[in-house]
Structure formats: structure tokens, C-alpha cells
Structure 1
């Protein structure tokens, strides 16, 4: 098992969670790839995306079926400007590569926000530190594990 994935397993166990990290032969770099490899809905993929909020890294855990509306997110968290982080910034902030960023196990603390849309799915799948590893977790466990702040990341019609 990759050291990043082993670290995720250790963190899950330390929090009393019994989820197992699965290493897949297929890539889980995108939500669509992960959903296809796991035979689940794209919305049940908890994508870990790094953004810059007024220049500082933040982590957004979002449903794989959503695109993050950065203006909406900025209003909710009190930021002026939110932009996507580049690959070097993602690795620097988390110690993990784009496409494999886990919701936990980063090299340093990072403010974390979670898309309330993820509540609609019974079990979620999140990356486990590499583009080929994932773990299953319930929304409430993910919320507790990460200490994330709940937000809406996509405007809804109506």
C-alpha cells in the first residue's frame, strides 16, 4: 500500500472508523473515472478540491456531480476571490497529487468546507492520497473526521 494511503488508513482507524482503503487498477483521478471504477453514482464521489481563498489554500469536499460556483462559495466563507489552485500549490498544501487528494492526512492543517449535497448519498467514496486509491465513508463520519464547515457549492434552480 502506498504510504499516503497507509496514512489515511491509520487516521480512519484512530477515529474509530472501519473503512478500508481500496487500491484500484483503474484511475480515480476524476469523479467520473472513480464512479465508473466503483460502479456508483458520480454524486457519491466526495471530490477533494484545493482552491485559493484570497490567496490562502482551502479544501472543498464536493459531490462529484457538482461544479463549484466560486462566487457562491466566496460569499459563504467571507472571501473576496476564490480561484483554482495549480498542481504545485495542491501538492504543497496537502502533500498529495491532484486526482488523489484525500479529505484528511495532509502535511499541514487546511481550512475545509463540505458540500451539503453529499448528504443525499448513503455512502461516499473519497480519494485516499493517490489517483488509484479510495475509501468509503458516511457523510456524518466525513464531516466529523475533517471538522469541515458545511456549504452549498452550486446554485440550485428554483
Structure 2
């Protein structure tokens, strides 16, 4: 049954993994699977906490691409061990979807027991500037990232 919150349907954006050691994980993906390292960086601050639900932390990140598909690798620097099932726990994967209306999608998924991990944030700079993002976690612990690309307005 079509869902009005997804007029064009969600579109897969990337898959992400929370990892123990970013450098060794990059080597694994590139040496074992022939992935290409696209970019690396570091994030921290309230933006990261609001999107992922991770308390004050820093994350080293990398995007590798395999067969044209982006894989996000995230190494969180946490003060304490992450609770199981959090989107930032080591070994947890998340699937990211582009959606047309993140607020409507959040309303729809909440009816099915999925919970936002913080507050919707807008990426301030870089390749995805203007994209609204939010992690959600389902009743069974599955993690999904919602991404609403910026809308371009014709003038």
C-alpha cells in the first residue's frame, strides 16, 4: 500500500557501520574488496549528538565506495561504552534513505514504534550542505538514517 509520506518512495543513500578502528577498517574495505577511499573527516559537537543520539563525542569518518555504492565508516570516541542498540554502538550498521519530507516521515515512522535519536539537523557545509538528517531506531534495534536533500527553488 503506497505511503503518502513517500511520494516518490525512499531512495537508498548509503550504508554505514560503527567501527572500532577507522584506519584498519579502511584498509580492510580497500585491500579486501577493492573499495576506493572517497573522503575522510572528523565531526563533533551538538550537531552530531542531535543527529545520532551519541552524547558529547567526536567521530572520525570515512566514505569508501565499492561498485559505485557508498559505505560510511564511523569511529566514535565515547567516554563510556555505548549502550547496545544505539546507532553509535560498535558493530551497529545503519541504512540511510533520502526522503522528500523528513518531518512527515518522522511522524509516520513514530506510529510504528520507531524513535528519533535527537533532533533533525541541517548539514552546514560540504558535499551534502543543506541536507536535513536524523537517526531513528526501531523497536527491534534497527537503525535508519533519514536524509532530506535540499530542495532547489526555481526563481
Same fold (TM over 0.5): no
- Taking structure 2 as the reference length, the TM-score comes to 0.30
- Greater strand fraction, Structure 1 or Structure 2: 2
- Taking structure 1 as the reference length, the TM-score comes to 0.30
- Greater helix fraction, Structure 1 or Structure 2: 1
| Structure possessing the higher radius of gyration over alpha carbons | 2
